[in-house]
Structure 1
């Protein structure tokens, strides 16, 4: 990473259901190598906010001051490269210990700052959006990026089954497995109808899928094509995989159509270790002993909840 990128500061705000707290924090650790109990994180790491199902906003900080007046003074000399812009205040909900700013006050602040900037404001279709954020008594101004819930577009597939991962969980699992996609090759050798594959491909990850069931493979291919994505899905067991990958994502089979014994599970985990340097395992059963016996070490973990249904997400090296 270049020095100028390392010197940048980003503030990410988060929104998630209480049942997603554990999964959200594990994804946060994967992205930023740290996490926060609060609903925001400050980092020098640049993550496209739409990658996460939990990130709400990203602010690339340009100025930070102890008072709004000081921000205003700086904006009098601020030069906008884009033809049009607008300013939004991001305090639309409680962030950490900082209470929400009421809408009328936000609108006044946005208008005051917008008038200070030299350029052409455009509230409907601006080329750039600037954000203002009050956090723990300090004001931050910068370039704002709003997260788009891309995973919602993948909810309705031509083929699906009830026990498959939700698109939100699948997207977070893909991010935990591949937080930085550049030059990373991944495989999902028990891909089912392609829920993880679709999320990974939509984020630009290089990933292949595989499954034992011919009809499931065909369904996965059609699901991928339905969303205009391109991915390779092959038929066969993980034991026949000869190539090596940086990461393997394993959602262990557990539904009525693909019941697996503990011996089957151990065989899958053992081969996952053989074909990949890092393995992310999704399981409804505790299989720590199988992972240890296969020569893997669990380096991070969480519980993904869906009402009373619990899944363990295990990151292994």
Structure 2
């Protein structure tokens, strides 16, 4: 395919209502802003499979007010020997733009494809091109569809009833580490490694520790099960001597973890000592403790599952 400069990226989203706030917080972390709709346009290039909410990314090569202009641009693309297909992404309402009927979508796809000097292949194309209508403007380019990697991590050899879901864990890792380059992270209360698995699968530089030797062993087992490599050690957060760019802490709780308010505060204070930035996940309101430890809450959201709520706090 000829090298044509990408002007922007169009991301399509889908989320469950209980995770709407989490999705918006992840948007703000990755892109610096959020949108109310399920379509986001940004100059930032994010791998769509990173997010549990992104459905696809369109690498925009051209935009225009009508399909004729898009078709004219597509006619000039040189794909060489590569086969292709064109997909119209308006299969659902996208923001204020209503869903386009199937027959109309196919007409749009055909109109573009018929102008192109290459071999179409609807089943196994070498290149997938996408086109989408948003607010009366058409966007056309290379389509990258998301792979639900987090879904493959749901069934682990070692399970923990109160662990975060893989979707939430993946979003939390993105919120904590939006740009993984040269970022060192730690999960000092890692449990059976739900966050570690998601972060490591995205190539993040993260280590784990936990005071419980059984869950440390379980975390190592889960990481190895998915062919990942990461360090997990037994130890209390107070014993950590290294410094990190960010820490992710799902505050310990359940019937078998009788953690006191003083112990909670101790974890947050130690997190302040070892990391510049901390993302806390908690089932209780701990704002006062966070502030008393010297943090400022920069952003936050609530994740719901039925009547059960978790708070996600971004602290610096």
Tell me which interval the TM-score lies in, with the shorter structure as reference length: over 0.9
Correspondences of 1:76-95 after superposition (within 5 Å): 76-80=75-79, 83-95=82-94
Q: What is the alpha-carbon distance in structure 2 between the residues aligned to residue 103 and residue 47 of structure 1?
A: 29
Q: What's 2:241 paired with?
A: 242
Query: 1:31-110 to 2 correspondence within 5 Å?
Result: 31-80=30-79, 83-110=82-109
Residues 1:169 and 2:138 are matched in the alignment: no
> TM-score by structure 1 length?
0.96
1:222-254 CA distance string (max 9 Å, x none): 011111111100001000001111100000001
| In 1, Cα distance between equivalents of 2:153 and 2:59 | 28
- Which residue does the alignment assign to 1:201? 200
Once residues 268 and 118 of structure 2 are traced to their aligned partners in structure 1, the CA distance between those partners, rounded to angstroms, is 58
Taking the aligned partners of 2:228 and 2:258, their CA distance within structure 1 comes to 29
Asked if 1:156 is matched to 2:163, the reply is: no
2:301 corresponds to: 302
- The structural deviation recorded for 1:162 is 1.5
Query: Offset of 1:45 from its aligned partner?
Result: 0.5
Whether the 8 Å CA contact 1:202–1:229 is kept in 2: the answer is yes
Which secondary structure state, in structure 2, belongs to the residue aligned with residue 37 of structure 1?
Answer: coil
- 2:177 and 2:298 map into 1 onto residues whose CA distance is 15
CA distance in 2, matches of 1:106, 1:171: 33
Q: Residues 268-307 of structure 1: matches in 2 within 5 Å?
A: 268-307=267-306
1:10-45 CA-to-partner distances (Å, cap 9, x unmatched) read 111111111111000000000000011111111001
Residues paired across the two proteins, number: 313
1:139-171: CA deviation from partner (whole Å, max 9, x where unpaired): 110111111111100010011121110000000
Whether the aligned pair in 2 keeps the contact of 1:246 and 1:277 (CA below 8 Å) is: yes
SS in 1 for 2:15: coil
* Residues 1:27 and 2:1 are matched in the alignment: no
- C-alpha distance in structure 2 between counterparts of 1:67 and 1:259, whole Å: 63
Question: Is 2:250 the counterpart of 1:251?
Answer: yes
Q: What displacement does 1:82 show?
A: 6.4
For 1:233 and 1:56, how far apart are their aligned partners in 2? 32
Deviation per CA, 1:35-87: give whole Å up to 9, x if none.
11111111001100111011111111111000111111222222225612211
Change in CA separation of 1:240 and 1:82 when aligned onto 2, cut-off 3 Å: farther
In structure 2, distance between residues paired with 1:177 and 1:204: 14
Deviation string 1:82-109 (CA, Å, 9 cap, x unpaired) is: 6122111100100011111111221222
The separation in 1 between residues aligned to 2:202 and 2:209, in whole angstroms, is: 19
Question: What residue number does 1:222 align with?
Answer: 221
Between the aligned partners of 1:56 and 1:156, the Cα distance in structure 2 is: 22
Tell me if structure 2 keeps the 8 A contact 1:58–1:145.
yes
**Residue 111 of structure 1: CA displacement?**
2.1
What root-mean-square deviation, in Å, do the aligned CA atoms of Structure 1 and Structure 2 show?
1.3
The unaligned stretches of length 5 or more in structure 1 are none
1:263 aligns with: 262
Q: Tell me, yes or no, if the aligned pair for 1:82 and 1:128 is still in contact at 8 Å.
A: no
- Structure 2, gaps ≥5 residues long: none
| Range 139-148 or range 67-76, more displaced | 67-76
* 306-315 vs 254-263, greater mean Cα deviation: 254-263
- Structure 1 position 131, deviation (Å): 0.3
CA contact (8 A) 1:248 1:279 kept: yes
Counting only pairs closer than 5 Å after superposition, residues 129-140 of structure 1 correspond to structure 2 as: 129-140=128-139
Q: Provide, for residues 275-312 of structure 1, a one-character-per-residue CA deviation record: whole Å limited to 9, x for no partner.
A: 11100000001111111111111000000111111000
2:297–2:314 CA contact under 8 A, matched in 1 = yes
